[in-house]
Amino acid sequence: MVSRVIPVDPFDLVIFGGTGDLARRKILPGLFRRYCAGQMPPEARVIGAARAEMDDAAYREMIGEAIAEFGDGKAVDQDKLSAFLETLSYVAIDARGETGWRALAGHMRRKVVRAFYFSVAPGLFGDLAERLNAHGLTDDDSRIVVEKPFGRDLASARQLNQDLAAFFDERQIYRIDHYLGKETVQNLMAVRFGNMLFEPLWNSQFVDHIQITVAETVGVGGRGDYYDKSGAMRDMVQNHLMQLLCLIAMEPPARFDPDAVRDEKLKVIRALEPVQPHHIVRGQYSADPDDPESLPDYRTAVENPKSRTESFIALKTHIANWRWAATPFYLRTGKRMVARSSEISIVFKDTPHSIFGEEAGRHRNVLSIRLQPNEGIKLSVTIKEPGPGGMRLIDVPLDMTFADALGPDGAENVDAYERLIMDVIRGNQTLFMRGDEVEAAWAWTDPIIEGWTNRGDVPKPYDSHSAGPDAAAQLMRRDNRDWREVTP
Ligand SMILES: NC(=O)c1ccc[n+]([C@@H]2O[C@H](COP(=O)([O-])OP(=O)(O)OC[C@H]3O[C@@H](n4cnc5c(N)ncnc54)[C@H](OP(=O)(O)O)[C@@H]3O)[C@@H](O)[C@H]2O)c1
């Protein structure tokens, strides 16, 4: 199946932090793929901006190398790469000073979409917004894109929102959560709201529980200093897992438009119940016994022997509304786990009575939505085990792995960043977080973090390459449930 590519309007995209890790690893290789696909028009211009002095040629060389290193592994078409690099230029600019702003103004064209990607530390967001305005670089149609972390608590998120709102309308602000750009996440909405099949069952009468797991195999790597001030709750749960939970739990919006969708997500966040202390398990990974030198324990990796920051968290929460009041939501995320896997599982209730007798076993339908790797949706259904051995039941998956179902074109995943950048240019905010959503998410998160800080809780150690601390398994077992296996 060949997907249609509709080119976006010509644009000027300024990437503040255009020499940084995110720009080189994700944003520019993603733009190059959109260029090759014909979605980024040749008239578009990308302007890298950072403090380091360099000319256009040096910047193009830097980005050419980044595309070779961080591209999708396929052979790079050198003619297309040269043409793409021609669309790039560079301006040395200081977000906190006056250097470079006039030069940047000289690069910008009239009558094209203007977008400004703030791929810099959040402490610079306010400075950038203020200077963009002071130098007359924005108009009513200009957009800014801001990266996570959007605050570290409610107070700082509010401050950031205010700093941006001083110069931009909410409709101009695109807060990225790249999880929302994943193909399967959008498919989740198509599956829920494009089919009649699931909606009648999508409630606590039929759903036993929902579990969301985002497991990583990597440790904190070179981000130790940042991560130790953040932890899994702030870095993953408050944004990515919360967004997934919203899409699973929200009511059908009246239209697939940005505010209708975000209004429904906001209602879910506001209906989340506070989490009880005994419904939270926090962990810190231990050194890899086979390779303690290069894969050290969490505290060594962050160079903080007394750290109480969690690299793993599992928790149980409820949504206080008619649809979900009796259905627990279990969330789990961690680093250095046994496999890299992001999966949402909707576990339906047992059949109320087995006509096949107890020996045939009780079976549950599970709808699992896999975000990475191997994006796809699987529904396990119960059938008779083939053969003459009587009525024995087994669970088999109805599998919609996109790579299989849609052929090579479906398998060619568009990276979340490239999809979201194209949405910015199109002016579609559906997959971006609104300011009130972010604040509501922090309002739920803050008391949980304050609770364990005040109690002086210490995270439990867990083995590298495991599913997290045993206490996380106990959290489910106490409810006669089990986590789904973390598999690659
Ligand atoms: N890397 C990721 O995978 C990732 C993922 C999610 C979110 N993020 C977020 O994305 C943002 C960028 O992350 P990153 O990893 O790319 O950081 P980074 O590698 O440290 O890059 C920072 C960039 O900002 C520029 N910069 C710093 N101070 C500046 C100033 N005063 N004026 C203008 N430019 C300045 C730097 O260049 P100069 O020093 O030359 O100015 C560099 O280009 C951060 O908010 C981060 O939290 C990153």
Residue 407: band (very low, low, confident or very high) from pLDDT cuts 50, 70, 90: low
Q: Which residues of 361-392 are buried (b: 16+ CB within 10 A; e: fewer)?
A: eebebbbbbbbbeebbbbbbebeeeeeeeeee
The Å distance, Cα 96 to ligand 1 centre, comes to 14
Catalytic residue among 240, 279, 318, 363: 240
- Residue 440 Cα to chain centre, angstroms: 17
Best residue among 15, 51, 132 to mutate for probing ligand 1's pocket (most ligand atoms within 8 Å of CB) is 51
Best residue among 46, 63, 120 to mutate for probing ligand 1's pocket (most ligand atoms within 8 Å of CB) is 120
Tokens 């709201």 correspond to: 193
The pLDDT of residue 304 is above 50: yes
121 Cα nearest atom in ligand 1? 45
Q: Put the strands of the sheet holding 376-384 in their side by side order.
A: 393-401, 376-384, 366-372, 341-348, 207-215, 329-334, 312-317, 280-285, 460-462
**Does residue 50 have its Cβ closer than 6 Å to ligand 1?**
yes
**Does residue 218 have its Cβ closer than 6 Å to ligand 1?**
no
CB atoms within 10 A of CB 271: 18
Residue 482: band (very low, low, confident or very high) from pLDDT cuts 50, 70, 90: very high
149 Cα nearest atom in ligand 1? 47
Is 240 marked active-site?
A: yes
List the one residue out of 333, 328, 363, 334 whose CA is nearest residue 346: 328
Please give the share of the chain, as a percent, with pLDDT higher than 70: 97
Q: Give the three-state DSSP class for 24.
A: helix
- Residue 321 Cα to chain centre, angstroms: 25
The Å distance, Cα 24 to ligand 1 centre, comes to 10
23 Cα nearest atom in ligand 1? 16
More confident site: 221 or 449: 449
How confident is the prediction for the chain on average, in pLDDT? 93
Burial class (CB in 10 A: 0-12, 13-18, 19+), 266: buried
Using DSSP bridges, classify how beta strands 329-334 and 207-215 pair: parallel, antiparallel or unpaired: parallel
| Full-model pTM | 0.94
Q: Give the three-state DSSP class for 421.
A: helix
Whether 383 and 396 have beta carbons less than 8 Å apart is answered as: yes
Whether 145 and 116 have beta carbons less than 8 Å apart is answered as: yes
**Does residue 121 have its Cβ closer than 6 Å to ligand 1?**
yes
Residue 301 belongs to what H/E stretch? helix 298-301
- Residue 293 Cα to chain centre, angstroms: 31
* Amino acid code (one letter) for 241: L
The pLDDT of residue 100 is above 50: yes
Pick out the residues of the known binding site for substrate.
Answer: 178, 182, 216, 235, 335
Residue 18: band (very low, low, confident or very high) from pLDDT cuts 50, 70, 90: very high
What digits encode the pLDDT tens for the residues 108-147?
998 899 999 999 999 999 999 999 999 999 999 999 999 9
Best residue among 14, 15, 22 to mutate for probing ligand 1's pocket (most ligand atoms within 8 Å of CB) is 22
